[in-house]
Structure 1
Amino acid sequence: MSELIIRRMKEEDLAQVCAIEEETFSMPWSRSSFQETLSYYHTLFLTAELEGEIAGYCGCYQSLEEAEITNIAVKRQLRGHGIGRRLLEELMRIGKEQGAFAYTLEVRVSNQAAIHLYESLGFVSFGIRKNFYEKPKEDAMIMWRHWEV
């Protein structure tokens, strides 16, 4: 695999980001949702670029020392190559520099590949949100990762 470049998401990335979002999620964010989110000072959204194309992205909202990871997706044909891991590691590295010492996310209970990735990065399950997801209806596992301050 060529060199993977992790960088902040830009508005000109959104066509490719939205294509990945639509291929990944049954209820994808719209382009306008991404545009609005990118304008907020308390958000951090990153892309993984491979050979000039967006291979994946992730993002979070940060509030003081906590951050909520809202999105992470990798192009279907590039999954399993560590791109999601690299994105999350960089997201948390930058967030930690900005004072975030706890991260949370929700994940479909059936998404074992994602759960395994999150656990390998130090996230632990803190409970279940019943019927959190639609299309199809499914429970969400709530996961957290904390650092010592």
Structure 2
Amino acid sequence: MEYHVRTMEERDVPYVSKIENEIFSLPWSEKSFIDAACNPDNIYLVCERTGEIAGYCGMWTVMGEGNVTNVAVHPSYRRQGVAEALLKEMERRAKEKSVTIFFLEVRQSNEAAKKLYEKLGYSPIGTRKRFYERPVEDAIVMSKIL
């Protein structure tokens, strides 16, 4: 399938928010996405297919470190390479900002995401106890050094 990964724009936020609300029990608000995407230090991307947003991701960058804040794919586009395309492009752009290490958290039970992150070179480095709510669950902290 052919996808187009590009910078998230304010006009994308209602569609991103729809996916966010469908997937997550504590979704980000539209304002949170706008604020994050408009910060020039951050990297927020969407992946489109035939004009429809299939997924999105985001990263905050500070002093050479990147914190992956969001990775989400619409259920109808899962297991089709969307998340991998988004993460690879986000990493490419982060390198341009001199980011040398990435961090992310993932639900302990999210086996599909953990496998993808490991495939892309992320390694587990710790646990954040009771990090997630609804349901309460630990987060596995993962990192990747470039």
TM over 0.5: yes
User: Shift of residue 130 of structure 1?
Assistant: 0.5
How many angstroms does 1:31 deviate by? 0.4
Partner of 1:72: 71
Written as runs of structure 1 = structure 2, the 5 A alignment for 1:90-129 is 90-129=89-128
Q: 1:119-141, CA deviations, whole angstroms, 9 ceiling, x for partnerless residues? A: 00000000110000000000000
Deviation at 1:146, TM superposition (A): 0.2
Q: Hey, what's the Cα distance between the residues in 2 that align with 1:81 and 1:11?
A: 26
| Residue identity matched to 1:111 | N
Does residue 28 of the first structure (1) align with residue 27 of the second (2)?
yes
Distance of 1:38 and 1:82 partners within structure 2:
23
Map 1:1-149 onto structure 2 (within 5 A).
Answer: 1=1, 3-147=2-146
Q: Provide the C-alpha distance between the structure 2 equivalents of 1:115 and 1:28, rounded to a whole number of angstroms.
A: 20
- Which SS does the other structure have where 1:105 is aligned? strand
Query: Shift in Å at residue 36 of structure 1?
Result: 1.3
Which 5+ residue runs of structure 2 have no aligned equivalent? none
Matched to 1:126, the amino acid is I
Q: How many residue pairs get matched?
A: 146
d(CA) in 2 for partners of 1:130 and 1:36? Answer: 28
In the alignment, structure 1 segments of 5+ residues that lack a partner are: none
**Cα distance in structure 2, aligned partners of 1:118 and 1:78:** 18
| Cα distance in 2 for residues equivalent to 1:86 and 1:38 | 18
CA distance in 1: counterparts of 2:35 and 2:64, whole angstroms? 23
Runs of 4+ in 1 over 3 A off after TM superposition: none
Q: Percent identity?
A: 44
Note the C-alpha offset of 1:39.
2.2
Distance of 2:96 and 2:36 partners within structure 1? 21
Q: Alpha-carbon deviation of 1:65?
A: 1.1
What is the distance in 2 between the residues matched to 1:24 and 1:64? Answer: 31
Q: CA offset at residue 98 of structure 1?
A: 1.4
The aligned amino acid for 2:83 is G
Q: Distance in 2 between matches of 1:36 and 1:19?
A: 17
Which TM-score applies when normalising by structure 1? 0.96
Secondary structure, counterpart of 1:41 in structure 2: coil
